[in-house]
Amino acid sequence: MEREVRVRFAPSPTGPLHIGGVRTALYNYLLARKLGGKMLLRIEDTDQNRFVPGAEQYIMDSLRWCGIEIDEGIEQGGPHAPYRQSERKPMYRQYADQLIRDGYAYYAFDTPEELDAMRARLTAAKVPNPQYNSITRAQMRNSLTLPEEEVKQLLDAGAPYVIRLKVPRKEEVRFNDLIRGWVVVHSSSIDDKVLMKSDGMPTYHLANIVDDHLMEITHVIRGEEWLPSAPLHVLLYRYLGWEDTMPQFAHLPLLLKPDGTGKLSKRDGDKLGFPVFPLEFHGKDAETGEPTVSSGYRESGYLPEAFINFLAFLGWNPGTTQEIFSMPELIEAFSIERVSKSPARFDQNKVRWYNEQYLRAKPDAELAQYLLTELNEQGIGVDMPTERLEQIAGLVKERATFPADLAREARLFFHRPISYDEQIVSKKWNAQVAAALTAFAAVLPTATDATPDGIKALLTQVVEGQGMKLGQVLQVLRMAVTGSGAGPDLMHIMSILGPQETAERLQAAVAALAAHAG
């Protein structure tokens, strides 16, 4: 019988979730939904030293904002609860004991000083990468080198120890990665990793394998930085007798900085000029303890759909030219086979482009709500029918990347100009133009058709009546109505402002600029 597809996102709560982590969660989620499986969230908090308060909640809030739904986890519960490793502590020991019993692991009693001395000795002997491994273990104090009686005494006396995996000396460890194909590693390059620490806590490696097995995980999809650990994990599955149900591995390509120089990391924070976290994060400086704030996509005005669409394409593509994908469309189109092996470069212009596409595709009614919220936040009173607000939102959206841009572009509808673009005034304002605008202001209130086309027809008629061409007055007219030389379509602006307000603005401009009309 086919096993149900079960994937997990297994972050360590050591800080805010980086966008690379969100991408890992997303690909897991897409695969689970595509194959009708389950998505688990497991918190890997066995390293108490690196625990950051608030990080766990931050991770869950981020996934929720992104629309990545969890089927089993801390908040949802599930058949394999608890989903937080610190609460599963009692479960791991028996597997370490089993490995010792079967000859695949051993007790190591070496003190930190002894370990340092070993590394110093190997360094002095020019060993490139000093490790506790199949060769060096023979010189150390462990249950493989000490007499059985002494080991027993040490254990009975409560001497501190760790449990290490006994990695074979000469063996090829191979597994088939869904993205990279066959990965072959010689066991001599793997060290005897600690599985249980002296405080009785399992390390990441043991807890991760035990949990993936108990939670019946079928696919492990994670970042490339875990690739070097995978051969060790394969050995653990084998030694624990779980090879038959070992999950399939898929190691995702790295996310690089925009210039391609190295990995995009949490530490980049806001230094590169764009957020590396989904939500704003309030933390503490590791050295000074001072409060820190790192910006987030949400607070910077990104829409979750745009952010997710962008992330999906960092390392995957559908093989067609289509770039806009909703979450259901991503689920439909996603496959691990189309995830790239090569690293993906972060592209700030692209994420902005996605935001524009999603913002502009929103119905005007929804944009009007964004606009209203922004205006309220800026203390700009809005007293106009909803329909007009929607017209404004629909007009200015073509110049907006973020919701806040809507308000910036829409300000002209709520404030008459208090100044006029000086360059346009000095270059283009003259008596003839002033006369044309005065004439237009005079007939505007009698306009029978106040649609953009109606206003344009009226304007053309007046301007040509004055012996001028439309092109000669358009920029000055815009400046007289809005104060500036650029903005959304002018005929639409005048239509929304209405003939009366437009006429009054023109008269005010003619009066204010009288001195320049000479």
Q: Catalytic annotation on 266?
A: yes
Catalytic residue among 34, 266, 350, 456: 266
What single DSSP character describes residue 296? B
Q: Which residues bind ligand GLU (CB under 6 A)?
A: 10-12, 44, 204, 208, 222, 226
11 vs 231 by CB, closer to ligand GLU: 11
44 vs 268 by CB, closer to ligand GLU: 44
Instruction: List, in sequence order, the alpha helices (H) in 317-363.
Output: 327-333, 348-360
Q: What is the identity of the amino acid at 339?
A: V
CA distances from residue 354 to 281, 304, 401 in whole angstroms, order as listed: 23, 10, 9
Count Cβ neighbours within 10 Å for each residue of 198-233 and write b for 16 or more, e otherwise: eeebbbbbbbbbbbbbebebbbbbbbbebbebbbbb
63 vs 406 by CB, closer to ligand GLU: 63
Residues 6+ away with beta carbon under 8 Å from 486: 478
250 vs 333 by CB, closer to ligand GLU: 250
- What is the C-alpha to C-alpha distance for residues 94 and 432, in angstroms, rounded to an integer? 94
Residue 215 C-beta: closest distance to ligand GLU, Å: 12
Residue 339 C-beta: closest distance to ligand GLU, Å: 15
Residue 53 C-beta: closest distance to ligand GLU, Å: 17
Residues 6+ away with beta carbon under 8 Å from 386: 365, 368
- What is the C-alpha to C-alpha distance for residues 42 and 12, in angstroms, rounded to an integer? 9
> Does 266 carry a binding-site annotation?
yes
Residue 204 C-beta: closest distance to ligand GLU, Å: 6
Residue 356 C-beta: closest distance to ligand GLU, Å: 32
12 vs 134 by CB, closer to ligand GLU: 12
- Tell me how crowded residue 512 is: count the other CB atoms within 10 A of its CB: 15
Burial of 337 (0-12, 13-18, 19+ CB in 10 A): exposed
From the annotation, which residues make up the binding site for ATP?
Answer: 266
Active site residues: 266
From the annotation, which residues make up the binding site?
Answer: 266
